[in-house]
């Protein structure tokens, strides 16, 4: 039951991240260029995760998944879902567009999650590490 719950939340969170990235304009997390295709994919993944979870076995049986364990599974699954979404989007974008170094005269360095509006997860981490290296020199 615990593994099934983790997988369900993990898959559903990937769908949620795809839908939310449209509204938040996080292009760095998008799998598709067209928002409607992105939304359809996210909705199908989200709905599919719940359909699989509730139709695959008898779910009305008592299990020993306690509240604290369920919270841990939930948090672990959404973090893993975010990391997987970032990795997949970074790999997709790396195949689609060639890497171009940002000119130094570009606008001020974006911080935190705002970086995902213009960069993928890998690009954001790389530019953050480059910025740290420049700051130390």
Question: Tokens 């509006």 belong to which residue?
Answer: 117
Q: Which of 30, 33, 23, 28 is nearest to 127 (CA)?
A: 28
| Domains held by the chain: number | 1
**pLDDT tens by residue, 60-116:** 666 677 788 889 999 999 999 999 998 898 888 877 665 555 444 445 556 666 666
Residues 49-61 pLDDT 10s: 999 988 887 766 6
Phi then psi for residue 36, to 5 deg, are: -70, -40
Give residue 42's domain range.
2-136
> CB under 8 Å to 128, separation ≥6 — which residues?
115
């Amino acid at each position: 039951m615990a593994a099934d719950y983790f997988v369900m939340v993990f898959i559903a969170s990937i769908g949620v991240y795809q839908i939310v990235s449209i509204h938040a304009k996080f292009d760095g997390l998008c799998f598709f260029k067209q928002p409607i295709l992105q939304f359809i994919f996210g909705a199908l993944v989200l709905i599919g995760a719940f359909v699989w979870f509730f139709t695959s076995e008898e779910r009305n049986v008592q299990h020993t998944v306690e509240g604290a364990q369920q919270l841990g599974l939930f948090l672990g699954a959404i973090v893993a879902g975010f990391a997987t979404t970032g990795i997949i989007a970074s790999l997709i974008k790396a195949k689609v567009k060639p890497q171009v170094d940002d000119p130094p005269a570009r606008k001020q360095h974006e911080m935190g999650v705002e970086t995902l509006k213009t960069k993928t997860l890998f690009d954001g981490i790389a530019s953050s590490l480059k910025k740290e290296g420049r700051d130390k020199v």
